[in-house]
Structures are given as C-alpha cells and as structure tokens.
Structure 1
C-alpha cells in the first residue's frame, strides 16, 4: 500500500464515524420525542442529513439495530453527565437534587416533550435487542448512583437497592410530569430522595 492512501482511508473513516454519529444523535432525539413506533427511518435520515444508503451501511439490521445503538449512545452521554454531577457534589442527595432539577428544567423548556431519552423506547418496543440496550442503560445509571452511595459509606447491597429505588423514583416522576405537563411530580420526588439518600 502506498503512503498516500493512508490519509484517504483515515478521512473516510472519520467521515463514516461522523455520519454514524449524526444518525445516532438524530435517532436519539426523535425517539425521545416519539418513541419507537412513532419514529420512522425516513425521519431519522432527514434529521441527520445523511444519505439513505449510509443508514443501512452502518446499521444493516435496520431500525432495531439503529435504535439499540442510539439508546446505548444516548445512555452513555447521560451517564457522563450523571457522573460529572455525582463527582462534583458533596453528597448523593445533593447530586440527586441537581439531576432531578436538570431533568425538570429540560422538560419544561421543551414544553413537556422530552424528559428521559430511554423511557419512551422502553415502554414502546418489544424488540429483544432494543430492550436489552434500554436495560443496559438503566443498569449503568444505577451502578453510577450506587458507586457514589458506597463512597458515602453505605453497604454494597443497601447502596445497590437504594440506587435502583432512586432511579425508579426519578424515572416515574419524569413520566408522570410529562403526562401531566407539570414539573410538580419531579419537584416532590426531590423531597423523598433527600430523605432516602441522607
């Protein structure tokens, strides 16, 4: 292979990775708004600006493969945000307050259209690979919260159970807040989290 071919291959790889990222971002945004059934491949392609053939190049398994990858992608982005908040706070309770407030603010600013990017897909899709991706995201988020609780001195089993309960409370409040178009359930869950996590 000649030396001049390497930059071309690197450029193609970078372009391909950028196209894949655009597809994942577009899918994540639309799935959060419309769920699995309400999001079509043509909408994802249009929102991403990617050529149609690139979708099947990157996701030969079609919609289910793309959605599973998008769920994982968005889940990692949110995990990084959660981790930053957990690391920047003096307590898990303080971090939970900030996380819930961020979700509530985002929900209000979107006119109650977006909340959690994973819940609409979880509730709407029976595909095993997509369900597995959703479960993996929730497990990752729970592990992050449990890790912080363990750092705060809580026993492992208690930390795992409490982290799961905290996530369930937050997710449930997000769903109810979105349905009622009112951030009240999220605001009220903060008080419960304060009592649980301190």
Structure 2
C-alpha cells in the first residue's frame, strides 16, 4: 500500500463527490471505485472519511488552479477564461453531465459521517473544516483570476469583484448544465463573461 494507492483513492473520492455529493460518497464506495485494497483506508487515512474528503477537496482545487493559472499567465485574462470554460465543458460532456465540481459539493452538502462515526460533535467539526477548505479553494481561484486582471491594468477593487463574478458564474453554471443535461448555459455564460471582461479591459486601456 504505497503513495500511488493513496493518490488513487483521493482522486477517486473527488470523482465520486463530483457525481454523487459528499454524503453519498462512502469509504467503501471509494474502495470499489478505485479497485484499491480495503485495508488501505485505515493505513492511508487513519482519521477516516473526514480526512479523505479533505484531501479530495485539496486535490480537486489543484486540478483547477494549476491549469487555470497556466492558461491565464500564457494567454491573458479573456483567452485564459475561454480555456478554463473549455475544460469544464469537456468534463461535463465526457461524463454525460454526471460530474460537476467536488468543491461545490462540499459547499452545499452538510457533512454526515460514516455509520461508525457516532459523535455528532465530530461531524460538526468535520463540516466546519471542510467548509474552510472549500472556501480556501474558491478564494485561490479568485486570487488567480484577480492577478490576471491586475496584470492587464484593472484596479484592485474592480479586479477582485470581477474575479468573484467569474468563479461564481462558472461554478453556478456547471450546476445548471448538469440539471439541463446541456452545455448551453455554460456557452451563454462564457459569452457574457467575455463581453464584460473585454469591455472593462478596453476602458482601462483608453
């Protein structure tokens, strides 16, 4: 049971969370989904499901933040946003709109532990910790977009508001796409975000 097994379980948990939510993702489901040894749960995650979910949130955050930052650095704010949307569109389409964002799942799902976790106080502590992690991931994505907009000359307060708008819009639209089983909402939101950014940046350059 090596680090590869551990990483596989973390990625598998993030994938299941994106499809089912947090509470419908059990440790047993993760083992089945990843075809890993059942004994690996206690070995790699001695604190149980809260530890695995927390690791999955951080993993999911990096899966977005790393390519997002790379795209924005290389392509600029508008083209980088387009690449960001394309990656979400691809994930939605390839999973037939089954998979959304595991970080959002943590934000909207009230954590309930495994049946073996009897203490409600532990569930409450886990809920607070997971919300803090999700908030940190969203904040990281906003900081990355904020930095890109600042590089193109936007004042810090406006860049911050627009960064929040972009992240909130994409996250919310992913949910709309799953419900509609269509990428149309994402395409529409992308067009509007690009118009907003284009108009704002053109005013800045004048």
Please, which moves more after superposition, 99-108 or 180-189? 99-108
Deviation of 1:39 after TM superposition, in Å, equals 0.9
Q: Which of 89, 98, 105 in structure 2 is aligned with 1:113?
A: 98
Q: Give the TM-score, by structure 2 length.
A: 0.83
- The answer (yes or no) to whether the contact 1:104–1:115 under 8 Å persists in 2 is no
Deviation of 1:85 after TM superposition, in Å, equals 1.3
**RMSD, aligned CA:** 1.5
* Residue segments in structure 1 that go unaligned for 5+ positions in a row: 1-14
Aligned to 2:120: none
Aligned to 1:18: 4
- The answer (yes or no) to whether the contact 1:125–1:131 under 8 Å persists in 2 is no
Aligned length: 183
1:42-121 counterparts in 2 under 5 A?
Answer: 42-89=28-75, 91-121=76-106
**SS at 1:37 equivalent:** coil
- 1:159 & 1:75 partners in 2: Cα distance? 21
- The answer (yes or no) to whether the contact 1:32–1:121 under 8 Å persists in 2 is no
Aligned to 1:10: none
Deviation of 1:53 after TM superposition, in Å, equals 2.7
- 1:49 & 1:180 partners in 2: Cα distance? 32
1:1-198 counterparts in 2 under 5 A?
Answer: 16-89=2-75, 91-126=76-111, 127-198=127-198
* Residue segments in structure 2 that go unaligned for 5+ positions in a row: 112-126, 199-206
Deviation of 1:101 after TM superposition, in Å, equals 2.2
